[in-house]
Amino acid sequence: MTLLVVGLVLFFAVHLVRVFAPGFRVGVIAQFGKPAWVVFHSLASIVTLVLVIYGFGEARQVTGMLWYPPVFMAHIAVTLMLVAMICLVAGFLPAGHIATKTKYPIVLSIKIWALAHLLANGETASVVLFGAFLAYGVLLRIALKRRERAGEIAPRPFVSAGYDIAAVVLGAVLWLLIIWQLHEW
């Protein structure tokens, strides 16, 4: 469990640099340039994600159940995951109604993903992992809202409702691929 917790702390530290240490990011970019920052941030993200995945696998072998969720929670989780995948895809497309109404659809996707998995999993390691990601999503949303109020982030201008259709179709395809095989991998 220690490896999972260390992995989560490092992963969130890398992803919350702008929130808790904005000067560090700005300093690295000023000294080495934005491409160097992107490479550093990407490598740190990959390494810490691998650490989280490995730590989760290890923790699941030694931790027990906190509770036994009812079977219907798995069905709710699967349905919520469809919504999460649609929001995820909407965040990467030019803005349609989904992206403009949710403001930060990728962050919303993370929160829905974490909540869905918390509902369906009662293992200690799962609660730690998904609870941490839910807290991360909430914290990130608060930070983005503050940056928006400070004028650092401009609202996404609406482009076309066609991107909503694309988000729903591509999100559903991604959801089906996850159900079909990707989740098992």
Assign 123 to helix, strand or coil.
Answer: strand
What is the per-residue pLDDT across 104-152, written as a single tens digit (0 to 9) for each?
999 999 999 999 999 999 999 999 999 999 999 999 999 999 999 988 8
Residue 185 has pLDDT above 80, yes or no: no
* Alpha carbons 82 and 88: distance in angstroms, whole number: 10
Q: What angle do CA 158, 160, 164 make, to 5 degrees?
A: 100
Give yes or no for a contact between 123 and 60, defined as CB atoms under 8 angstroms apart. yes
- Hey, how many other C-beta atoms are within 10 angstroms of the C-beta on 104? 20
Give yes or no for a contact between 137 and 110, defined as CB atoms under 8 angstroms apart. yes
What is the per-residue pLDDT across 55-95, written as a single tens digit (0 to 9) for each?
999 999 999 999 999 999 999 999 999 999 999 999 999 99
What is the per-residue pLDDT across 141-177, written as a single tens digit (0 to 9) for each?
999 999 999 888 888 888 899 999 999 999 999 999 9
